[in-house]
Amino acid sequence: MGRTRDGIGTAPAAAVVGLLAAWVAWGRLGPVARGTVWAEDGEVFLRERLALGPVEALLHPYAGYLHLVPRLVVDVALVPPVREYALVVSATCCLLTGAVCAAVFLLARDVVPSWPLRLLLAAVPVLLPTAPWEVSGNAANLHTSGLVLAPWLFAYRARSWWGAGTLAGVAVLVGLTEVQAVFALPLLVLAWVPVRAGRAPDGQRVRGHRLLALPVTVAALGSGAAQVVTALTTDRASTPGDPAAADVVAGWALQTVGGLWDADVAAVARAVVAHGWAVVAVPAVLVVGLVLLGVVVAVHEGRWRAAALTLVLAAGSAAVWTAALLANASGDGRWSQAAPAVLVTATPSRYAAAAGMLLSAAVLVAAAVLVDRPSRAGRSGRRAAVRASRPGGALRVVLSAVGWCVVTVVVATWVGNLPGVAQRSTGPEWAPQVTRAEATCRADRSAVVVVRTQPGSWTADVPCALVLRDR
């Protein structure tokens, strides 16, 4: 994969990033959450895997969509004794999220050449304050990591046929797992455009064969089409939503923007009740302003990839949040009209976590644009050097200061929200329940035991034959 201009070997560094990210995700869950099965992981994916078998279950629709990677995770988790099912699912999901972080670290190098800034960008899926609450460490929400990866996967300019094939394989996994990845499909245009000189890690213009973008394009469009067809032809149990525009905006400001700096969304809501909606409206305006500033500066300096990624990531945050409320009535908290007593009971929404990861990525790319020197960004080194020598150099210092302030705030909010709280932290843990069921199963091997999961209304039916398989 080559070496970046800062001397950091990309592939080894990415491997380290992936392992560290997986370790952070694992640690933020806590021991009880790691041993507790979440929702569909037990009641849906496990049940359908046992009923349909390992092949037919892979592309079996659920809730109107395909869930390829979560079903593969269940296959892996059934290899060890079923008593370890919860731990294996949690560990596998943390490792896969770490792999997403490593991939972002690699694929973002043409847009964010500075490895420390790219490291922060890669860490978003595991360090978002609200991530551990529901979306981290379980197969049911693993698609959120795929959503974060999709823009970088589709926009990357492959260097070799081996790399192009790898991108296509990953695109199939992402596309057949996350239907909302279709929002990033326009970025495929960037995969066909050579990287400008000064933006490639080795400082050279990246050309390669003109058809190197074909594999990922076919894979992304094909898997996206499969998801769309599935959504149009499969019934969904969820009731569609009909949110008011004010609720969409208020919810995005409270849950998505508020969740960027505090995992305790109820605390943010209490501040709103006490001081008004300006508590979240002002930060939301500042975030949008920063994104637009990053786009303008990137366009002015000829950094079209950075401008496109920043814009699509930010727009994707709004689109994903809005689409979730339109598709699921249960996701709409009627925030703009909710009574204070209801508002202060808010918990982090999984839909807001997905939108928050995209928005965090947009903010960090915009900050990187402001921090990066013009000599790295211009259409040619000569033009950038001339621009840097002009009176605008003072403006560049101001922009760089703004970018570093943003980076500092992001890091401070992440550190302030460690380690995190998971909804599964109260149990019930899976392994003790399976152990207690062994006596029942020895009395009747044909029986099926019910194992409780989270949320409390969800359960998993586990055949005794599976409980006693390795005994």
Q: Are 178 and 150 in contact (CB under 8 A)?
A: yes
Output the pLDDT for position 207: 57
- Measured in whole angstroms, the distance separating CA 396 from the mean position of its chain's CA atoms is 32
Length of the chain: 471
- What is the pLDDT at residue 198? 45
Question: How many angstroms separate the CA atoms of 255 and 268, rounded?
Answer: 9
Is the pLDDT reported for residue 388 higher than 50? no
Q: Give the model's confidence band at 217: pLDDT under 50 very low, under 70 low, under 90 confident, else very high.
A: very high
Report the pLDDT value the prediction gives residue 451, as an integer from 0 to 100. 97
463: preceding bond cis by omega (within 30 degrees): no
Reported as a single tens digit per residue, the pLDDT across 263-288 is: 999 999 999 999 999 999 999 999 99
439-449: per-residue pLDDT in tens? 999 999 999 99
Name the residue among 410, 461, 190, 413 with its Cα closest to residue 306. 190
Encode 202-218: b = buried (16+ Cβ within 10 Å), e = exposed: eeeebebeeebbebbbe
> What is the model's pLDDT at position 236?
81
Average pLDDT of span 20-27: 98
Question: Do the beta carbons of residue 104 and residue 184 sit within 8 Å?
Answer: no
Q: CA distances (Å), 3 to each of 6, 8, 114, 200, in order?
A: 8, 6, 12, 10
* 194: confidence class by pLDDT, cuts 50, 70, 90: confident
Nearest to 301 by CA among 202, 379, 203, 210: 379
What was the pLDDT predicted at 386? 42
pLDDT tens digits along 102-153: 999 999 999 999 999 999 999 999 999 999 999 999 999 999 999 999 999 9
Contacts of 84 (CB under 8 A, 6+ apart): 77, 431
- pLDDT at 4 (0 to 100): 42
Contacts (Cβ under 8 Å, ≥6 apart) of 437? 449, 451, 462, 464, 467
Confidence of residue 205 (pLDDT cuts 50, 70, 90): low
Contact (CB, 8 A) for 357 and 128:
yes
Average pLDDT over the chain reads 90
* Radius of gyration over every alpha carbon of the chain, rounded to an integer in angstroms: 23
Q: How far is CA 200 from CA 3, 104, 112, 416, in A?
A: 10, 16, 10, 35
Stretch 451-468: mean pLDDT: 95
pLDDT reading at 378 higher than 50: no
Q: Does the pLDDT value for residue 176 go beyond 60?
A: yes
